[in-house]
Amino acid sequence: MHTGSSRIAGSTLGMDEAELIRAAQAGDHDAFERLVRQYDQNVLRLAMNLLRSPEDAYDIYQEAFLRVFRNINSFRFDCSFHTWLYRIVTNLCLDHLRKKKVRRTESAVVETPDGPMDRLDSVPEMRADGDPQRTLLSRELRGRISEALSGMTARERMVFEMRHYQGMRLRAIGDVLGTTEEAAKNCLFRATQKMRSALGDFV
Partner 1 sequence: MNCETAKQQLVLFVYGELSFDEEELMEQHLDGCAGCSAERARLESLQEVLSQGESEVPAGLLARCRRDLAVQVAAAHAAPRRSLSLAALWRDWVVNPPLWLRPVGAVAMLALGFFAARIVPGDSPALARMGVAQDPAPVFSRVRLVNPNDSGGVRVQYEEVRQREMSGALQDDHIRRLLLAAAVDQTDPGLRVESIDLLKQHCSDDEVRRALMNALRTDSNSGVRLKALEGLKPYARDPETRKVLAQVLLVDDNPGVRTQAIDMLVQNKEPEMAGVLQELLPNEQNGYVRSRIQKALNEMKASAGTF
- Could you list the residues that contact partner 1 (CB under 8 A)? 1-4, 6-8, 11, 22-23, 25-29, 32-33, 36-37, 40-41, 44-45, 48-49, 52, 54, 57-58, 61-62, 65-66, 69-70, 124-125, 127, 138, 141-142, 145, 163-165, 169-170, 185, 188-189, 192, 195-196, 199, 202-203
Question: Least distance in Å: CB of 80 to partner 1?
Answer: 19
For residues 109 and 164, which CB has a smaller minimum distance to partner 1 in the complex?
164
Map residue 117 onto helix, strand or coil: strand
Question: Least distance in Å: CB of 83 to partner 1?
Answer: 18
Please answer whether residues 129 and 135 qualify as being in contact, where contact means their C-beta atoms are separated by less than 8 angstroms: yes
Please answer whether residues 139 and 123 qualify as being in contact, where contact means their C-beta atoms are separated by less than 8 angstroms: yes
For residues 117 and 182, which CB has a smaller minimum distance to partner 1 in the complex?
182
For residues 98 and 171, which CB has a smaller minimum distance to partner 1 in the complex?
171
Please answer whether residues 118 and 109 qualify as being in contact, where contact means their C-beta atoms are separated by less than 8 angstroms: yes
**Residue 89 Cα to chain centre, angstroms:** 7
Strands 115-118 and 109-112, sheet pairing:
antiparallel
For residues 14 and 116, which CB has a smaller minimum distance to partner 1 in the complex?
14
Map residue 8 onto helix, strand or coil: coil
For residues 58 and 82, which CB has a smaller minimum distance to partner 1 in the complex?
58
**Residue 69 Cα to chain centre, angstroms:** 19
HSE (CB half, 13 Å, CA atoms) of 175? 14
Question: Least distance in Å: CB of 51 to partner 1?
Answer: 9
